Amino acid sequence: MRFSIPYRETPHEPILGAPTARANFCEEDYIISGLVAEFINTITNIIYVIYALRHLSRRPTKDGTLAAKAPFYGLALVGICSALFHGTLKFHAQMGDDLSMLVASSCVLYRAMTFDRTWPEIKTFTVVLVVSLATVIVYHVATDEQVVHELAFVLLIFLVGLRTRSLIKTRVKSESQQATLRRNTLFGAACFAIGYFLWQLDLRYCSQLTRYKRQVGMPWSFLLEFHGYWHVLTAIGACTFMVMVEDLTNEDKAKDRKKN
C-alpha cells in the first residue's frame, strides 16, 4: 500500500527481558520497539487515563468524597496497569491489569448500591463485595486462569447496569430525562459488547489479521489491532456508567432535575 511502512521480518530483542505472562494477544510482540511489547495495545490505554483525569478535574471542589472519586481513580488505574502489562507482558503486570478491572468495576457498583441505604445495609453489602472480590482475586492469582476472572467482570458490569436502570426509575421523574438516561445506558452497554466482540475477532482470526496487517503495512495496519478497540470502547462505556451513577447519586443534581 502507498505511504506505508513495512514490518520487519523478526521482532526486536526485548529490552526488559522475555515475557512471563501466560496471556498474550494478536498484536506481534516487540515488532515496533524492543522496549514496548505490544505497541498499539499499550498506547490505547491512555484513553482510560484521559477520561479519568477529565472528569476528576471537572468535579466541584466541595464534592471531594472518596466514594465519589474512587471510580475515576479506578479507571485511571486500569489504564496504567493495562499499559504496563501490554508493554512488558510480565506475569505481575498481567495480574495488575486483570485485578484493576475488577477493582474499578467494584468501585462503581459500591457507589451505586450503597446510595440511600441504611448503615447496616451498607455494612452487609461491603462485606459481601469485599469477600467475593477477594475470593476471585486469590483464585485468579493462584491459578492464572481467565474464565472466572472474565465471568466476574461481566457480572460486575451487569449489576452496575441493572442498578443504573433502577436508579433512573426511582431518581428521575421526567419521562424525557428517563429516556435520555436509558439511551445512555444502552450506549454504555453497547460499547462493552462491541469491544468484547472485536476482542474475540482478534483472538479467533489472528493469523488472517496478521497477514493483512503485513500486507497493508504501518500505520494502516494499526486499524486492524482489534484489542485496542476494546480499550477505547470499554473506557467510553465505563465512563458513561460512572458519570450516570455519579449524577444519579448526587443530591444537588437531583434538585436540578426536579427544577427542570
Extract the annotated binding site.
27, 38, 86, 227, 231
- Enumerate the known binding-site residues for Zn(2+): 86, 227, 231
- Report the Cα–Cα distance between both ends of the chain, in Å, rounded: 55
HEC string of 41-106? HHHCCHHHHHHHHHHHHCCCCCCCCHHHHHHHHHHHHHHHHHHHHHHHCCHHHHHHHHHHHHHHHH
Q: Which residues are annotated as a binding site for Ca(2+)?
A: 27, 38
7, 218 Cβ separation under 8 angstroms: yes
For residues 8 and 16, give the distance between their C-alpha atoms in angstroms, rounded to a whole number: 20
* Cα 147 to Cα 52: distance, rounded to the nearest angstrom: 28
| SS3 (DSSP) at 10 | coil
Cis (ω within 30 of 0) for the bond into 71?
A: no
- Which cell numbers in the block locate residue 155? 457480572
In angstroms, the CA 164 to CA 249 distance is: 10
| 237, 192 Cβ separation under 8 angstroms | yes
Give phi and psi for 236, each to the nearest 5. -65, -45
